[in-house]
Chain A
């Protein structure tokens, strides 16, 4: 039920997990070389608060706090050896880390339903000062250089009749685009906000969602960038009392995408669901780092990320950190990461991490599995007349559908599944025209 092991799964060095394990509910965390000391381990039933010691100059009985700051220099210049950067190909993220301040902007196309207001505040605005702080140098640079923020405000108690859509298109310039977006949803309002990233860009963008008490907020962030794009971003959510926050991250395009999603709760009874889908092919690097900080009682978090990889240079990283602080009694948390490796040579890293500092919780757990689409499945489907390409599509569609359907916007879901299909088809091109008309349902 509860564990706090840290494991990495790496298909290049470990035997493939049976694909059936990928989908089974409650699959245990992958075995792998522990990257944190054994003192991390504990269980919800008997862990005494303060039992975890990680050493350090002044032992507090708790893991060290994560460094946060609005000052980029506090973090120093990353070398790639730091825990937060060790999975990132530094050469490819340098254009952002070394990027100069600029006036470059993405092209915004917005659809704002009634009850929604889009405005701009400058860097000195109290709203900016109150945002969760950056957790790495790139995020701090972004906060600084964005020079203020674009703010989407949803009035309290507003019930939007359609999603807020911000279509953000890159225009392909050499300059880094620095952005900061704040989505401020008033108490008891209900809103869905879609960030739809397309086009070629070097983009570093912070996004903060403030979900007021009792609000129901869905944020969908689609990374459908043109090839060669680089995207870094820190996403923060502050979940109010009894509020629900749902985040759906869909990363398909670009050369490198590295998103850090943090969740904190400002009141009791909050719920956060973090869903993600990523599909890496050829040489794409897609990195999703999550950090859910349970510091108040009776909150829930649920994480489900699924990724598929094809091509020898395909690379994905998923880091799922959950911390349950001593005060966070009644916490319920679960995180799950599944990776489906479609071709030889691709590499998926998956590192779930759970720090439990109180035994008074409802439940805490995580699972991670990386497996391949195996020959026996392929044979079974083909023996029913289904060609190999369609068989792969069928399996990948099924694999992703339960996450994608959380978006709740049919047209967007169809578009994303279509994009995935096209990408699958490009890698396993089969001239058989019959294979392109397979009836496959999403839900």
Chain B
């Protein structure tokens, strides 16, 4: 049983006078077995939230806390966060030329588990997971993300989630750029993980499309760097029909009011 707790998180990018606050006090709790959808318009800071939790050096945390089972995540290096049980499926996975997928996966699994997985069972596990994600076996010998199509990259991210078995997985717009088949395959991969274990999922998305495949327990509407509304799966349906307009308008008024006070 794991709990990721985000309290009043403030994050900015840039330095000095160019610094710009992106997250403005995010509160969120994700527990094992729960699936949370974070939905919001472009530029609302959804991806910044994902990368800040993972520890990307571009983002500076200026206030608030992030803890995993009480441990201070913000004090950890990027690799320590992953070993503590956090996983980020990236919207734009990075090419790592010269490093094969099989080598990468095994190295990552060794780092996460603290010892090299037994070769025979490992090869079998990788193969089985790749088949479930409908990935060709030749994939394992290709260089990490090099020349992968959009769908291949996302499947590769989910493959890593399946093999590394994190406590909390953050999926950053995993649905973007996927055709219907790929979306189904990727969603099934996420659902298998949810059914099998106690994973907590933070699903970041712009569209409601993926929520037809992955049913969230909670939906959070994210606007201008904070959560502005929360509800159950029905909130997603409402967003599907009405869009973000109402929330964005409120937020603009709020920002204008804040601006006037300042």
B162 interface residue (CB < 8 Å to A): no
Give chain A nearest CB distance to B147 CB in angstroms. 9
Closest to A375 in B: B57
Residues of A within 8 A of B87 (CB): 383
B114 interface residue (CB < 8 Å to A): yes
B111 close to A384 (CB less than 8 A): yes
For window 381-431 of A, CB contacts with B under 8 Å fall at 381-388, 390, 394-395, 397-399, 401
Partner of B54, one of A20, A383, A388: A383
A438 interface residue (CB < 8 Å to B): yes
B77 close to A395 (CB less than 8 A): no
Beyond A379-B56, A380-B93, A434-B111, is A385–B79 a contact (Cβ under 8 Å)?
yes
B48 interface residue (CB < 8 Å to A): no
B103 interface residue (CB < 8 Å to A): yes
A398 close to B56 (CB less than 8 A): no
Tally of A interface residues using CB under 8 Å: 32
Beyond A382-B79, A388-B79, is A441–B94 a contact (Cβ under 8 Å)?
no
B97 close to A398 (CB less than 8 A): yes
A53 interface residue (CB < 8 Å to B): no
Residues of A within 8 A of B160 (CB): 384
B103 close to A394 (CB less than 8 A): yes
Partner of A385, one of B94, B111, B115, B146: B111
A116 interface residue (CB < 8 Å to B): no
Partner of A384, one of B97, B108, B143: B108
Mask, A12-40, CB within 8 Å of B = 1, is 00000001101110000000000000000
B24 interface residue (CB < 8 Å to A): no
B107 interface residue (CB < 8 Å to A): yes
Give chain B nearest CB distance to A275 CB in angstroms. 16
For window 53-89 of B, CB contacts with A under 8 Å fall at 54-57, 77-79, 81-83, 87-88
Residues of B within 8 A of A20 (CB): 95, 97, 146
Question: Please, how many angstroms separate the alpha-carbon atoms of A73 and B246 in the complex?
Answer: 87
Residues of A within 8 A of B112 (CB): 384-385
Partner of A437, one of B97, B104, B110: B110
A395 close to B96 (CB less than 8 A): yes
Question: Please, how many angstroms separate the alpha-carbon atoms of A22 and B79 in the complex?
Answer: 25
Give chain B nearest CB distance to A315 CB in angstroms. 23
A84 interface residue (CB < 8 Å to B): no
Residues of A within 8 A of B254 (CB): none
Give chain A nearest CB distance to B7 CB in angstroms. 22
Residues of A within 8 A of B110 (CB): 434, 437-439
A386 close to B79 (CB less than 8 A): yes
Beyond A20-B146, A379-B78, A439-B110, is A395–B94 a contact (Cβ under 8 Å)?
no
Mask, B103-131, CB within 8 Å of A = 1, is 11011101110111000000000000000
Give chain A nearest CB distance to B6 CB in angstroms. 18
A377 close to B96 (CB less than 8 A): yes
B108 close to A385 (CB less than 8 A): yes
B259 interface residue (CB < 8 Å to A): no
Partner of B98, one of A375, A382, A395, A438: A395
Question: Please, how many angstroms separate the alpha-carbon atoms of A23 and B98 in the complex?
Answer: 7
Give chain A nearest CB distance to B117 CB in angstroms. 9
Give chain B nearest CB distance to A436 CB in angstroms. 11
Beyond A375-B57, A384-B82, A385-B164, is A22–B97 a contact (Cβ under 8 Å)?
yes
Question: Please, how many angstroms separate the alpha-carbon atoms of A380 and B51 in the complex?
Answer: 11
B132 interface residue (CB < 8 Å to A): no
Residues of A within 8 A of B97 (CB): 19-20, 22-24, 398-399
Residues of B within 8 A of A82 (CB): none
A379 close to B116 (CB less than 8 A): no
Residues of A within 8 A of B106 (CB): 439
A65 interface residue (CB < 8 Å to B): no
Give chain A nearest CB distance to B78 CB in angstroms. 4
Residues of A within 8 A of B32 (CB): none
B208 interface residue (CB < 8 Å to A): no
Closest to A396 in B: B98
A377 close to B94 (CB less than 8 A): yes
Residues of A within 8 A of B143 (CB): 23, 398
Residues of A in contact with B (beta carbons under 8 Å apart): 19-20, 22-24, 375-377, 379-388, 390, 394-395, 397-399, 401, 434-435, 437-441
Q: Which 7 residue pairs are nearest across A and B when measured between Cβ atoms? A: A398-B98, A23-B97, A385-B82, A384-B108, A385-B111, A382-B78, A380-B94
Beyond the given pairs A382-B79, A387-B111, A395-B96, 16 more chain A to chain B contacts, judged by CB atoms under 8 angstroms and listed by A's residue number, are A23-B143, A379-B78, A382-B77, A383-B54, A383-B78, A383-B88, A387-B79, A388-B79, A390-B107, A394-B99, A394-B104, A398-B103, A399-B98, A437-B110, A438-B110, A438-B111
- A-B CB contact pairs (8 Å), 6 listed: A380-B144, A385-B164, A386-B107, A398-B96, A399-B97, A399-B98
